[in-house]
Structure 1
């Protein structure tokens, strides 16, 4: 986790090094080449972070190298803060001078001469000394990198994070609890002949939105397998989209579900023509599960073959991102925002997976611990199911249950839970500046209720908000950051 944050922090430093205001000041002060060199060196170092994270588990020297890199990154940030402060001060002074009346003689003096004040010389000397020390430390890290045999992009982290099994349409009805009301509402929207579509658009796109592990896929499975849906639609298909939004791959999956066509080696044009022929005049339901892509052009390209379907044809998407929902949904259709599962439903999910029972009737000695464990899961079905599955192998031993109660859910090995992988993928998909802002929120105490303005001011104080345009206020940009994280279900 620390290396993920370090990588994001380095990206923030890259962005700051590319700031027009910083570059303008550095060029005027003769620091541009030094800052460019920092950027090049950090890029070389960043390329081996994946390999370093793997090796630090078994090599203390690699762990020490990462610690040194982190310390250096913070010191680089301090210098950039100093440069940015000096640049802002210069702009203020120059703006004041331009407004004041000055003599014709002063106006004829070159700007380069007017900046050579004792204060300026002192600042250049101070920055120059610090920059030399930073350069030496960078050189040492690069030398150590080669000595440690750290490989560039040896095992790219994104691919490893995405090693999650794709979802399928199969669901076990007997193991589903809660969501009856929202399930009925989705079905009503899908199969009711009386429901009027103000837009009459085909297909109707219905989003199911919520944080990772909240039960979006399960709800979609229940709807997909409902008997009313079976009889209402002429055909239906399921496609797990996930992070890599490949229009051709998704189209191929849907086409192969609906037909016996051999799609191997076929291009997108062939796939879309065939899918359009198959859907022409038919009432269909398509589930697009786990959608992340925010590119509107990709969505319109994927959607094109579906527009020939019969009225009442529908596409249901599940996503963690409200922006994706807004981009894809039919405007007249409100998305279904999934909230936490009720405590009663969570208890049923827990006992099903931990005890293979619907309640604690036959295991009353475990009820108090079980209820406490469930309350810690805060209504998240994935967490409840995972903890239940872990306890299933504990042979109903009260002492073992108490041990699990004392642990944190993140202490459970990934092999047993899959939770870190499932939830970290949300973090992986954040742009670097949002990764830093979210990581900073870890200083907030557990269960602490915070306000938007409060968090934005903290981000500003830490220099995590860097406007790229003079006319953009830091508070406004911080508010955008906050609402972006909110829309992605991080808060």
Structure 2
């Protein structure tokens, strides 16, 4: 986990830049003496934004850089407050002017409001100018506009079987490959790749297999590691050992970790799941493969990846190529989420089913897209217009540039789901981007943080905590959070169990 005192500035900076863009676009900044300062402020912010991601990554080993980010965070927070206040006052002033024109009343002077806003924004611009100059001392890498980065979404091994629809054949085939001795070879490890595009359910199938009683009884130990785009051998070794031992490690020495892992693997028939593998570099995989070969005959490695070449780099057994979920199973998944057991008249059900089936067809067999759409329409059975709005959204016309066919972009579909969140849930969910990758949220702790940020207004018959928990549960229902396993660890001190 990242240092808890590390600064994460990018989301705040993005918000401030979007605010300046909106002010210029809406022409609130045409108040004399303010427009130019807002444009200058945006220019400074944009130059800082280009390097802030690299600064966040490097701050741990550079106290001066960390101090610079602290100043930047403070300035960005102040800018957020000042610009928000300015936008509100500008809007109210314009509305009053319209009312006065309509009523033929003399216009009220804006001199005081204009002068105050101009001074504050000018000072902000100068402040960010100094910060922008200081960044040159750190030789930070610039992120090119339009550059696309892959943000890993870390997964755990837990899955609620009642939420899974279909995939029985896939699960049984992979289970057979894990349990069969057909490919067993002394001094080697059998690697089974599950290959398919994002959103098809590769991780879900791996979770189902990992938790199958037959699999648990067959292997002496099981381990799960989410790899993602960076094939970091040290992290993989560390997480594999931690999963096996159920103990946290502070050791980051690759050689020590290799030695420790061998202690567990030698003579043991194990199952290791490497979820979400992206690497196409054999040299990165080879050191880990050599360690895993030291396990007992019959050991297995199950790999999930959207990169077809991974099966040639890592796989030793024929890959399981995951296909799209059949339409009827997609509909069952969608209906299970969207209708949540609501009692509907046959006429209303028929209308919603016709619209819903069309939405499902447009998801093109992608379970993740189906879940997102089901979550988006959950609790909206009385709002037929919203169902029709989703059905006719332009998002369905976007093609997947990677696949070269008419499969909808999964990220575009998920953004559609986000865009339709109520504003109070949007803010709460956006706040979560401040946390490190692979962070496990605890409901009560996150709610307290939301309250401290004043994101939550208590309902008439509930406390802020109760309202916040309701917010969290709503985001969970809409598939914006994923349930993670809760580990219960038992240890002994002086023969007493804890």
TM-score (norm 2): 0.52
1:181 corresponds to 2:79:
no
1:411 corresponds to 2:411:
no
Residue of 285, 299, 322 corresponding to 1:338: 322
Unmatched 5+ stretches in structure 1 = 1-48, 65-142, 422-491
Residue of 108, 126, 150 corresponding to 2:47: 150
User: How do 1:3-82 residues align onto structure 2 when only pairs under 5 Å count?
Assistant: 57-60=18-21
**How much does 1:60 deviate?**
4.5
Correspondence for 2:273: 287
Task: Determine if contact 1:360/1:367 at 8 Å carries over to the other structure.
Answer: no
Relative to 1, partners in 2 of residues 1:401 and 1:414: Cα closer, same or farther, differing over 3 Å?
closer
Relative to 1, partners in 2 of residues 1:167 and 1:293: Cα closer, same or farther, differing over 3 Å?
same
Correspondence for 1:348: 332
Task: Determine if contact 2:238/2:257 at 8 Å carries over to the other structure.
Answer: yes
Relative to 1, partners in 2 of residues 1:393 and 1:204: Cα closer, same or farther, differing over 3 Å?
same
**What SS does the corresponding residue of 1:316 show, helix, strand or coil?**
strand
1:313 corresponds to 2:318:
no
Correspondence for 2:208: 222
Relative to 1, partners in 2 of residues 1:211 and 1:366: Cα closer, same or farther, differing over 3 Å?
same
**What SS does the corresponding residue of 1:311 show, helix, strand or coil?**
coil
**How much does 1:161 deviate?**
5.7
Relative to 1, partners in 2 of residues 1:337 and 1:361: Cα closer, same or farther, differing over 3 Å?
farther
**How much does 1:348 deviate?**
1.1
Task: Determine if contact 2:186/2:296 at 8 Å carries over to the other structure.
Answer: no
User: How do 1:466-481 residues align onto structure 2 when only pairs under 5 Å count?
Assistant: none
Task: Determine if contact 2:274/2:302 at 8 Å carries over to the other structure.
Answer: yes
**How much does 1:297 deviate?**
1.4
1:277 corresponds to 2:282:
no
Q: Distance in 2 between matches of 1:253 and 1:148?
A: 38
**How much does 1:249 deviate?**
0.6
User: How do 1:33-432 residues align onto structure 2 when only pairs under 5 Å count?
Assistant: 57-60=18-21, 150-151=47-48, 152-155=50-53, 165-193=153-181, 195-197=182-184, 200=186, 202-330=188-316, 333-356=317-340, 363-407=349-393, 408=395, 409=413, 410-413=415-418
**How much does 1:248 deviate?**
0.7
**How much does 1:242 deviate?**
0.9
Aligned length: 289
Relative to 1, partners in 2 of residues 1:62 and 1:316: Cα closer, same or farther, differing over 3 Å?
farther
Task: Determine if contact 2:226/2:274 at 8 Å carries over to the other structure.
Answer: yes
Relative to 1, partners in 2 of residues 1:328 and 1:234: Cα closer, same or farther, differing over 3 Å?
same
- Cα shift readout 1:443-477 (whole Å, capped 9, x = no counterpart): xxxxxxxxxxxxxxxxxxxxxxxxxxxxxxxxxxx
Unmatched 5+ stretches in structure 2 = 1-9, 26-39, 55-142, 396-412, 431-498
TM-score (norm 1): 0.53
**What SS does the corresponding residue of 1:287 show, helix, strand or coil?**
strand
- Cα shift readout 1:242-298 (whole Å, capped 9, x = no counterpart): 112211111111101111455203411111111111111111101000011122111
Task: Determine if contact 1:351/1:388 at 8 Å carries over to the other structure.
Answer: yes
Relative to 1, partners in 2 of residues 1:403 and 1:377: Cα closer, same or farther, differing over 3 Å?
same
RMSD across aligned positions (CA):
3.6
Q: Distance in 2 between matches of 1:292 and 1:353?
A: 31
Relative to 1, partners in 2 of residues 1:203 and 1:415: Cα closer, same or farther, differing over 3 Å?
farther
Relative to 1, partners in 2 of residues 1:313 and 1:55: Cα closer, same or farther, differing over 3 Å?
same
**What SS does the corresponding residue of 1:394 show, helix, strand or coil?**
coil
Q: Distance in 1 between matches of 2:16 and 2:323?
A: 40
